[in-house]
Amino acid sequence: MQNPLLETFQTKHQSAPFNDIKEEHFLPAFRELIKISEQEINNIAENRNEPTFENVIEALAFSGEKLDVVSGIFFNLNSAETNDEIQKIAQEVSPLLAEYSAKISQNSKLFERIKKVYDEKEMYKLNEEQEMLLTETYKGFVRSGALLNNADKEKFKDISIQLSKKTLQYGQNVLAETNSYFRHITDAGELAGIPEPIMDQYREEAKTRNLEGFVVTLQYPSYLPFMTYAENRDLRKELALANGKKSFSNNEFDNQNLIREIVSLKQEKAQLLGYKNFADYVLEERMAKTPDQVTAFLHELLEKAKPYAEKEIAELKVLAKADGIETMESYDHNFYAEKLRKQKFDIDDEELKPYFQLEKVQEAVFGLAKQLFDLHFLETHEIQKYHEEVKTYEIFENGTFKALLYVDYFPRKGKRAGAWMTSFKSQYKKNGLNFRPHISVVCNFSKPGADTPSLLTFQEVTTLFHEFGHALHGVLADTTYPNLSGTSVKWDFVELPSQFLENFCYEPEFLKTFAKHYKTGEILPDDKIQKISASKNFLEGYQTLRQLGFGLLDMAYHSNADKVGDIKTFEVEETKATNLYPSNPETAMSTSFSHIFQGGYSAGYYSYKWAEVLDADAFQYFKENGIFNPEIAAKYKVLLAAGGTKDPMELYKNFRGSEPKVESLLKRAFG
């Protein structure tokens, strides 16, 4: 069988030939490419020449190129356009890749050669990036079990394979639960309070299921507006329970046992390597360094934020009490938060949405990239796509091709919830050529209606800017080695570019350039713009506590795996300092906390708040000197282009002139 995944892509920019790829191509391609990549590794390990930086470290950095590309295609499809067949293949492929990875990291001959180069690095006169590659390669092997005895190496490999299967199953269970629930409503009176554009969305969803009336789902663009506007408290409770029960219902998709197994395996993995727990293992390679430092950081913010959060919730409870609600529940929060926001700022999302047409918001973020970094975006129809809704853009800088960008904005059955940036191909330099990255931004915004374009809530506007901030980190990458390129940085540094870009959404000067009514072209009135800017810190105390709760729970799972018994009990105990609403025994957040059990945020969720300190400090620098200041933008561009080639604190200090200050975040959040 001819397999396009095993051939050189004869497409523009050697982009993925999606039109030719079929599900049945993946498994044979993975098996063949793993074989080829293993041979490359063996050639490096068995080389009879004296080990050098070039024939060991550099050769290793460029090995498995084709396997990386095919992995990128497959796992991005598994997130954005999956089906039963792809999920089944993923269950077969993940352990194959885990075993392949373990074979490399535990190849004793290869490690001997790496160690020799590492021990003799002074003789090589390496530049800064080469030295970083050498250090990261050596540490990576040690942290993957290279110094273990043979019996423990086998244990380590087995744990890695088990984790790859179990984390994948966790995510598939969450997706299945999200897709399986929907609420069919035939009486429009039950949807009192829901704005008409959202009602249209619910009608469209019903039509796709061949039903009369309305359908609400657990997909974010459907669920969140319901919880924000629906006056029917019983229905809000029903939807919230369905959402909170995801993979917590003692059915085939229940994740409780998987959580216990995952954290136990991670603990065992860390202890094999001599660490006390998985958090110690992870944080050794982060800016934060230790669990104690993370916990101290989270508790410092908790102490500052909690009084503000309690005051905010007290305000909401006054509104709820006026409606006869004596005990306010978590499923009331969004509804009364929206009421309070209207009272304080006289704005609501539905009133603002006509001013935030998706295409115009995208133009704005493209324009910002042009103004700050001289990047130009040109839509192209010559790139094959994995779904008809995807759009593709070529990005140029000074007339030179810089990157390929895929954007995929709307929810589908085969797409997981949320928003993310990823890549199909990394940037790197080889044989005198600069291979440019293929970047993807994936979101779940409301689809266009029959008579209206896709209109975004303001929160969705900031989401697009957030993911595009990540994309710029990839687009501007300018490193020699793919494993130091773009977002390949310390995990608690990776959110700086994304959160930094969100700040522009609150700047009146910038908002006026794109917040225009989709029908009339009228610019969003000044008073509304000022209110958006003023509302930036609305309920910031509560939002901070919520994020701190996630961070503390994450650290607890990965510091105290042996104490994880009943999932609900553990969750309630570890987050009690941050919970301002009664806990419902029927729901659990942990069972759908994909960031830490499927994604890469294990012992790393704190990094969102950590990076907020960085982004607040960085944007303050721009504010003091002009938000479009070309000199500061040029320095920030250097930070983004450097990827993981330097220590992140060094990169930050080179940009800012000093270390970031927690006070910058506290000042922005609480004045």
Question: Which are the catalytic amino acids?
Answer: 467
Q: Supply 457's token pair.
A: 């809530």
Which residues, in sequence order, are CB contacts of 389 under 8 Å at separation 6+? Answer: 408, 409, 410, 412
3-state SS, one letter per residue, for 120-184: CHHHHCCCHHHHHHHHHHHHHHHCCCCCCCHHHHHHHHHHHHHHHHHHHHHHHHHHHHHHHCEEE
d(CA 449, CA 472): 30
CB 544 within 8 A of CB 299: no
d(CA 516, CA 521): 5
Side-chain half-sphere CA neighbours of 179 within 13 A? 16
Closest C-alpha among 614, 580, 613 to residue 301:
613
d(CA 306, CA 541): 6
Q: Supply 144's token pair.
A: 């993957």
At 507, give phi and psi (nearest 5°).
Answer: -90, 115
Q: Supply 491's token pair.
A: 């995990």
DSSP codes of every residue in 356-415: -BHHHHHHHHHHHHHHHH-EEEEE-SSS--SSTT-EEEEEEETTEEEEEEEEE-S--TTS
Q: Which single residue is written with the structure tokens 């969720």?
A: 605
d(CA 431, CA 377): 27
